[in-house]
Amino acid sequence: MEIIILTILVIVLFIYCLKIKTDSVAVEKSFTSIVNHTFRTPLTRIKWMSDNLKPETTLAEQMEIAKNISYSTNHLLEIVDTLAGIKDLNNGSVYAMKTISLREIIEDGIAKFNNPINEKKLKLQIPAFNSIPLFTADTKKISFAIHAVLENSIWYSKPEGTISIEAGVSGSSINLSIHDGGMGMNWKDRRNVGDKFYRSTEAVKMNTDGMGLSLYMAKKIMEMHGGSISFKSHGRDRGSVFYISIPISK
């Protein structure tokens, strides 16, 4: 009997180790593929635009080319900042905590994503935030986390759709929810969303430039603040709701 139990344990351990190795290889392949594509796209755009800068190029064309090069360069810098930020996610000593306003973070996020909001003709329903107190957090990191969820809803909402933001206080936490009527999530998405480098097939079709890191980093940041990010969706094309819990004091 003991030999049988030992044999079963050895088999289970072998399968577990094999799964870890397989997952590591899969993550490495995903990282290589995503980073290669993510860097290559803006770099290719910059090269193509630069090649079109010729003596006969008109001033208007030069200004448009310069605008596109600037956009692609900023996109590259955002990618570098994102990748560089991963190493500090679990290092509490680099979190610069101070008192901040949730309203300002949401308003900054809406301003940041103003172009895609207007292009998709999205309607945003935003609370007054009158009853929401100030809270203590690392401004840059908590803004990244909340903006990542907001951006996710914007990118995957259908044109002329509605994004509803709600905020309230429960006990010692601020509860923020972001509802969208977008593509939603199937069972596989619900199981894997927020994992490092995970992107659903539908998400890749709608936004080819994503890396599958923003929600992963957002979850880690909220955990370091003593908060959380959770979500629900009733299935594909039925929208999603993301819930963010933020301690008022940390």
**How buried is 102 (Cβ within 10 angstroms: 0-12 exposed, 13-18 middle, 19+ buried)?**
buried
What's residue 95's pLDDT?
Answer: 86
* Domain shared by 209 and 234, yes or no: yes
**How buried is 219 (Cβ within 10 angstroms: 0-12 exposed, 13-18 middle, 19+ buried)?**
buried
What's residue 175's pLDDT?
Answer: 95
C-alpha closest to that of 236 among 161, 166, 156: 156
* Domain shared by 78 and 168, yes or no: no
Q: How far apart are CA 36 and CA 229, in angstroms?
A: 29
* Domain shared by 124 and 238, yes or no: yes
* Domain shared by 62 and 135, yes or no: no
* Domain shared by 133 and 77, yes or no: no
Residue span of the structural domain in which 57 resides: 2-88
What's residue 2's pLDDT?
Answer: 42
* Domain shared by 191 and 239, yes or no: yes
Question: What is the CATH number for 127?
Answer: 3.30.565.10
**Neighbouring-strand partners of residue 245:** 175, 228
* Domain shared by 138 and 166, yes or no: yes
* Domain shared by 107 and 43, yes or no: no
* Domain shared by 172 and 154, yes or no: yes
Among candidate residues 88, 114, 146, the one where a domain is terminated: 88
Which string of b and e fits 35-58 if b means at least 16 CB within 10 Å? eeebeebbeebbeebeeeeeeeee
What's residue 133's pLDDT?
Answer: 94
The amino acid that residue 232 corresponds to is K
What's residue 198's pLDDT?
Answer: 62
* Domain shared by 61 and 142, yes or no: no
Global confidence as pTM: 0.69
Among candidate residues 54, 88, 122, the one where a domain is terminated: 88
Provide the number of structural domains found in the chain.
Answer: 2
**Locate tokens 């929600």: which residue?**
215
Per-residue tens of pLDDT for the chain, all 250 residues: 444 444 444 434 433 443 434 444 444 555 555 566 566 777 777 888 888 777 787 888 888 888 888 877 776 776 676 666 677 777 777 888 999 999 999 999 999 898 889 999 999 999 989 889 999 999 988 998 999 899 889 988 889 999 999 999 998 999 999 999 877 776 666 676 656 666 666 655 566 566 667 888 888 899 999 999 988 887 777 788 999 999 987 5
Query: What is the C-alpha R_g of the chain?
Result: 22
Judge whether 107 and 221 are in contact, CB under 8 Å. no
* Domain shared by 75 and 130, yes or no: no
* Domain shared by 11 and 130, yes or no: no
